[in-house]
Structure 1
Amino acid sequence: MRADAIPGVLLAGGLARRMGGGDKPMRTIGGRTILERVIARLRPQCSELILNANGDPARFAAFGLPVIADTVADFPGPLAGILAALDWVAANRLDVALVLSAAADCPFLPRDLVARLHQALIEQNAQLAVAASDGQSHPVIGLWSVALRNELRDALVVEDVRKIDRWTARYRLATVNWPAAPLDPFFNANTMDDIAEAERLAALDERR
């Protein structure tokens, strides 16, 4: 399938404990929420976007995206969100084979994220592809095969696998590296100090 035919899921399941709770993607940077920035960066790259979040979906109504909850009960973590997206695509987009996942608290995602991950997947005959920067992998940001969703469900429910890289190690994995200067495109806002740093980086991002 073409890179621009790949849907994306924004993973917004974090509880923002280090920020005092709430939804991290709803924090504001440079007058825009982090989620607005993520949507703006990924919408031109994906066929459509969906949001993975638990709890009341109405709090995200203003963004106009389908909101899907985890399909595995009581499982905290991004793998559950990825599985929910794969299940949604399998039920609603029968011709789609791949799904992009991205953290909804990464406001500076690369403009060539989907294209480069897709290219690496094909060139390396891989089953999965994940992003990296400065030599560090970011496994929550990657391309996932819909065909592997039942294997992922078994890993979560039967084996209690919770770490993404423990699961991806089972498959042919392509890792695509981006430069971390002048800013790391996979910077994510976990603390209030990160929000302050993001304000500074937002000005750099606008010039990229």
Structure 2
Amino acid sequence: MPVIQPHGLILAGGRATRMGGGDKGRLPVGGRSLVERVIDRIGPQVDALALSANGPPGRWADLGLPVLADADPDRPGPLAGVLAGLDWAAGQGRPHIVTAAADTPFLPPDLVPRLLAAAGPTGLALAATRDDDRVRPQPTFGLWPTALRDDLRAALAQGTRKILAWTDRHEAGLALFPTAPLDPFFNVNTPEDLQRAEDLACG
């Protein structure tokens, strides 16, 4: 049976407080914005792509992607974005989505197949790295089955906010990625991170 390629969702809802606010995904790195670099990386791995972001959707119009706002007015973090993506994919008859953060310009080019291979018994999987024998989950990079969307909706209504608090309950598998020569999940949180990304992109 052929593998059904997932839809992809870029999580762009962060407030970028350490960068002075605004849409962090718009910051330039090597002549292209962070979010454009993420699109370049994950786009070929999925069969459709959307952006999770709140506020006026028109500011993302140049990307040509559907913009999904959180259904919950309280905007309780990335899990709310994941839920919006699951509802979007379920409406199109898709069995799962893969998520990636908008501030990670070097994400793995094989993220999706490795997440699919690592799926746990419920179909969930998260990316992870190993550092000095310690496994570090990368919770904004995951494979999420649409069949669990109502469970996630209920968990959000009950106050769950941390991704791992929910994924641990559903036995998420882990797809391990090396961190050498570069951590593929390096993300831009500070001006220093932005300069490092620039150096890496142009090096």
TM-score, normalising length: structure 2: 0.94
Secondary structure at the residue paired with 1:175? strand
1:150 maps to a residue whose letter is D
- Root-mean-square deviation (CA, aligned residues, Å) is 1.4
Deviation per CA, 1:185-205, whole angstroms, max 9, x where unpaired? 00110111110111122245x
TM-superposed CA distance for 1:27, in Å, is 0.2
Q: Which residue pairs with 1:171 in the alignment?
A: 170
Distance 1:144 1:56 in 2: 26
Q: Which residue pairs with 2:70 in the alignment?
A: 70
2:183 maps to a residue whose letter is D
Q: Displaced runs of 4+ in structure 1, greater than 6 A?
A: none
TM-superposed CA distance for 1:9, in Å, is 0.4
1:130 pairs, out of 114, 126, 131, with 126
Alpha-carbon distance change, 77 to 2 in structure 1, aligned in 2, over 3 angstroms: farther
Q: Which residue pairs with 2:179 in the alignment?
A: 180
Secondary structure at the residue paired with 2:36? helix
Count of residue pairs brought into register by the alignment: 199
> Unmatched 5+ residue regions in structure 2?
none
Equivalent residues in 2 for 1:29-178, closer than 5 Å: 29-91=29-91, 93-94=92-93, 96-121=94-119, 124-134=120-130, 135-157=135-157, 159-178=158-177
Distance 2:122 2:181 in 1: 30
* Larger mean Cα displacement after TM superposition, 141-150 or 129-138: 129-138
Distance 2:3 2:10 in 1: 17
Deviation per CA, 1:129-169, whole angstroms, max 9, x where unpaired? 00012331101100001000010001001x20000000011
Secondary structure at the residue paired with 1:15? coil
Does the Cα contact within 8 Å between 1:132 and 1:175 map onto a contact in 2?
yes
Distance 1:142 1:136 in 2: 13
Distance 1:120 1:126 in 2: 11
Secondary structure at the residue paired with 1:176? strand
Does the Cα contact within 8 Å between 1:53 and 1:69 map onto a contact in 2?
yes
Sequence identity (%) = 51
1:109 maps to a residue whose letter is L
Deviation per CA, 1:158-181, whole angstroms, max 9, x where unpaired? x20000000011112111111111
> Unmatched 5+ residue regions in structure 1?
none
Does the Cα contact within 8 Å between 1:18 and 1:190 map onto a contact in 2?
yes
Secondary structure at the residue paired with 2:44? coil
Distance 1:195 1:126 in 2: 37
Are 2:17 and 1:17 aligned? yes
Alpha-carbon distance change, 4 to 43 in structure 1, aligned in 2, over 3 angstroms: farther
Secondary structure at the residue paired with 2:45? coil
